Amino acid sequence: MKLLVGLGNPGDRYAGTRHNAGFLVASRVAERHRISLKKKGYQGIYGVGRVAGEETTILLPQTFMNRSGSSVNAASRSLGVAPGDLIVIHDDLDLPMGRIRVRPEGGHGGHNGLRDIIAVFGRKDFVRLKVGIGRPERGDVTNYVLGRFHAGEQKLLPQLLDLAADAAEVILTDGVSAAMNKFNNCNLLESL
């Protein structure tokens, strides 16, 4: 069993915000593979199905970003998921909009959702799929990540979600190294 987790904040107030990039990508993967995200459990909503031939649970924690660890830990323990079979999709301020990055493990990099998962899960060796949202040129970072994508970003967003969903599928079928080789140097802005 693989566990694909999209990080974000629940509720209409946060829908479509930069910080919910993980929710958006995980939902795109679920949509592609006709996995309904309607089951309630693991302090989140989830669905189970096959993604690229792999039995996969897709989870959207409903605990708010800073408390994602309890949801991820509950699901991974209940499902018997090995750390290498846990893929966490999240927004990344240090990647420009239009970029994604796959990593086999690592620290939290200042991301509060990852910080909580590491603290509760007690491990760092799970796969990350980072979705670039860029940094604000000036102003408050919190307001930026909790803000909605502006018009220029909205045009690029469908392609970015598709690229990240493609990367998630490659992680599941061919492994992390293959996904890193294929996607870590992609830049959608260069292809426009």
Task: Kindly name the residue from 19, 33, 111, 150 that is annotated as catalytic.
Answer: 19
Long-range contacts of residues 61-68, Cβ cutoff 8 Å, at least 24 apart: 61/5, 61/7, 61/8, 62/10, 64/9, 64/10, 65/7, 65/8, 65/9, 65/19, 65/112, 65/113, 65/116, 66/112, 66/113, 66/115, 66/116, 67/116, 68/5, 68/7, 68/113, 68/116, 68/117
- Per the annotation, the verdict on 90 as an active-site residue is no
Q: By the 8 A CB rule, do 145 and 18 touch?
A: yes
Which residues are tagged catalytic? 19
